[in-house]
Structure formats: structure tokens, C-alpha cells
């Protein structure tokens, strides 16, 4: 992260605290938030549509991503509770009919893979979607939250996992650092990309922080802020 003055590098592309170009091959890992970063939707808001509570859930999501709600775990539990009774089938409909990778996602991931980087998805969203997004885009590692489903319907609760209860900002950071350690990388050899306040901890731990169409609090701190165009605009400042 950087407190340096912002420099308009190109239309819709703002840089802070470094001079481009950087070499993509000098990095070994790129970590992505999922909802509204790698993909075009906030999955929880779309699932809430089936419960007739999309507007209510989306308002909490927006406040959380802007950093106006500081307890992400509590805000997520509140939102998940509103999903009680949603049929599991609706998750499939959201994935098949509403979810799309954001522009440039595949091009950026393919370029990173070609340069030898591993890829990580860390999401405060749900494993149901994260696993499928990883398959579509060829992502190596992932961490996200598991919705409890009983008799084909969401219970309004999350399932604890062996690493903890909820993937929040602190867990995103921990997973980024643990993956670096697993790969024999220093944290400064990692890139972290996100759009919301709960991405700031991992972005602060990485060597290069990237905001994608992000909330103001995130744009103001990221070393790269992509405000127009696709994810692959990062390649304008990272050369193979």
C-alpha cells in the first residue's frame, strides 16, 4: 500500500509509490478477491434475490465494502441469516445466469501463468461460487466460506472449517502470507487485487496492491488503481 501522491499513468489508471514498468516475472503469486473483482456480481446480493431481500442485503454489502461497517464477520452473518430457506437450486441459477468473469480476467490470469506466477482466490463470499470460478479461470488455490445446506435449502448459517469460521480481511491476509510461505516466496513477491475494505489487509501485506473499480477507501491506498477498463490493464504496468 502507499501514501504517495497519485499519478495519472493513463486514462483510468492511477499509480502510487513506484515507477513502472515492473517485471511480472519478479512476482510469484497473484491473489484476487472474487465478488466485484474477478467476477461481475456480489453473489450474496444475487442469492438474496430469491428471498426477496436483495435490496436489504445489498445495502449491508455496500456499507461493508466501503468500510462503513467494520465488523465484516458480523455483517456477513447478518446477511447470510437473510438467506434462510433459499433453495440450493437458486445458487446454480445465479452461477449459470448472472455470474460472469470481469473483462480481462482470463487474459491477466493467462499472462500471470505464462510468467510463472501461481494464482489465489480469497473471498468473503462462498465456496459454491469460488470453486466454480477457479475451474473456469484455472486458479490454483482458494479460500472462501461454506453455506450450510440442509434438505436442499440454505439454513441461514455458515459451516465452520478446519482453518476457522469466516474468511474476512484478516483471513485473506493470513492466507496470502501462508501461500507465499508454501511457495517459498517473500510477501513482496505477491500481488493482491481487490475492491472492498476487507481486501485492504491482504493488499497491505503484498508487494504490489491493485484496486479494481474499487471503493474510495481502497483506491486511495492502492499502488495501482484501475478505474476504467478490464483487469488486464494491470499488464500496462507489469511487463513479462
Catalytic residue among 33, 195, 199, 232: 33
How would you class 157 by CB atoms within 10 Å of its CB: exposed for 0-12, middle for 13-18, buried for 19 or more?
A: middle
pLDDT at 240: 78
Q: pLDDT per residue over 80-107, tens digit each?
A: 999 999 999 999 999 999 999 999 999 9
CB atoms under 10 Å from CB of 184, counted, come to: 8
Q: Is 33 a catalytic residue?
A: yes
Closest among 100, 106, 112, 72 to 208, alpha carbons compared = 112
Q: Is 168 a catalytic residue?
A: no
> Nearest 5°: CA angle at 69, between 84 and 128?
40
Q: pLDDT per residue over 190-222, tens digit each?
A: 999 999 999 999 999 999 999 999 999 999 999
Q: pLDDT per residue over 128-168, tens digit each?
A: 999 999 999 999 999 999 999 999 999 999 999 999 999 99
Closest among 227, 197, 230, 239 to 9, alpha carbons compared = 227
Catalytic residue among 26, 35, 160, 162: 35
Name all domains of the chain by residue range, CATH numbers in brackets: 6-40+102-239 (3.40.50.1000)
Amino acid at each position: 500500500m502507499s501514501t504517495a501522491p497519485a499519478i495519472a499513468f493513463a486514462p483510468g489508471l492511477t499509480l502510487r509509490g513506484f515507477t513502472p514498468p515492473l517485471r511480472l516475472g519478479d512476482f510469484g503469486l497473484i491473489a484476487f478477491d472474487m465478488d466485484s473483482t474477478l467476477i461481475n456480481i456480489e453473489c450474496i446480493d444475487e442469492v438474496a434475490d430469491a428471498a426477496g431481500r436483495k435490496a436489504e442485503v445489498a445495502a449491508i454489502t455496500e456499507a461493508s465494502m466501503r468500510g462503513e461497517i467494520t465488523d465484516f464477520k458480523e455483517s456477513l452473518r447478518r446477511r447470510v441469516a437473510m438467506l434462510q430457506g433459499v433453495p440450493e437450486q437458486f445458487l446454480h441459477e445465479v452461477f449459470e445466469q448472472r455470474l460472469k468473469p470481469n473483462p480481462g480476467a482470463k487474459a491477466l490470469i493467462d499472462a500471470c501463468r505464462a510468467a510463472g506466477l501461481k494464482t489465489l482466490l480469497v473471498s468473503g463470499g462462498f465456496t459454491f461460487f469460488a470453486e466454480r470460478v477457479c475451474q473456469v479461470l484455472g486458479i490454483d488455490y482458494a479460500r472462501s466460506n461454506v453455506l450450510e445446506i440442509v434438505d436442499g435449502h440454505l439454513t441461514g448459517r455458515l459451516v465452520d472449517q478446519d482453518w476457522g469460521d469466516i474468511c474476512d480481511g484478516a483471513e485473506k491476509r493470513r492466507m496470502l502470507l501462508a501461500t507465499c510461505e508454501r511457495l517459498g516466496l517473500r510477501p513482496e513477491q505477491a500481488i493482491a487485487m481487490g475492491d472492498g475494505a476487507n481486501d485492504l489487509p491482504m493488499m497491505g501485506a503484498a508487494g504490489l496492491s491493485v484496486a479494481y473499480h474499487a471503493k474510495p477507501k481502497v483506491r486511495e491506498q492502492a499502488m495501482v488503481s484501475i478505474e476504467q477498463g478490464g483487469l488486464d490493464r494491470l499488464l500496462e504496468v507489469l511487463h513479462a
